[in-house]
């Protein structure tokens, strides 16, 4: 009886952690599906990425957004922060990872 109870607790803990780990990815997928087209061409505003492999919208509201841009052939990963002022304008950015050796910080969810 104790073994079954213990297995149930372990199973619940594993499911709980899987939900915590997967939720940010699921959220980004939904936000990207809903709002990704708004940001498709905005990576060109800085000129750091020549081509885009894909993007993920990590945060979105009426006034601000956070978008991951993954460069062609996974050369670099940038996070761009946009504010809405008569259209989306770049407010800030950071390079999370670059193939040339730059890895400034750890972010979650992780895309590469």
CA–CA gap between residue 55 and residue 68 (Å, rounded):
5
pLDDT at 66: 95
Q: Is residue 12 part of a domain?
A: yes
Query: What range defines the domain where residue 26 resides?
Result: 2-98
Q: Is residue 108 part of a domain?
A: no
Q: Is residue 106 part of a domain?
A: no
pLDDT at 78: 84
Q: Is residue 69 part of a domain?
A: yes
pLDDT at 33: 97
Confidence of residue 46 (pLDDT cuts 50, 70, 90): confident
Among residues 23, 32, 98, 104, the alpha carbon closest in space to that of 65 is found at 32
Q: Is residue 103 part of a domain?
A: no
Q: Is residue 110 part of a domain?
A: no
Residue 64 corresponds to which tokens in the numbers above?
């601000």
pLDDT at 101: 64
CA atoms within 13 A on the CB side of 97: 15
Domain count, the chain: 1
What percent of the chain clears pLDDT 70, i.e. is strictly above it?
A: 88
Q: Is residue 112 part of a domain?
A: no
Q: Is residue 107 part of a domain?
A: no
């Amino acid at each position: 009886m104790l073994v079954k109870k213990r297995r149930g607790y372990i199973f619940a803990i594993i499911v709980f952690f899987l939900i915590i780990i997967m939720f940010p990815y699921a959220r980004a997928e939904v936000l990207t599906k809903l709002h990704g087209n708004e940001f498709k061409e905005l990576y060109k505003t800085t000129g750091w990425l020549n081509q885009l492999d894909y993007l993920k919208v990590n945060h979105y509201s009426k006034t601000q957004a956070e978008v991951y841009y993954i460069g062609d052939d996974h050369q670099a990963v940038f996070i761009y922060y946009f504010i809405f002022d008569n259209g989306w304008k770049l407010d800030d950015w950071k390079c999370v990872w670059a193939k040339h050796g730059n890895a400034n910080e750890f972010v979650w969810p992780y895309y590469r």
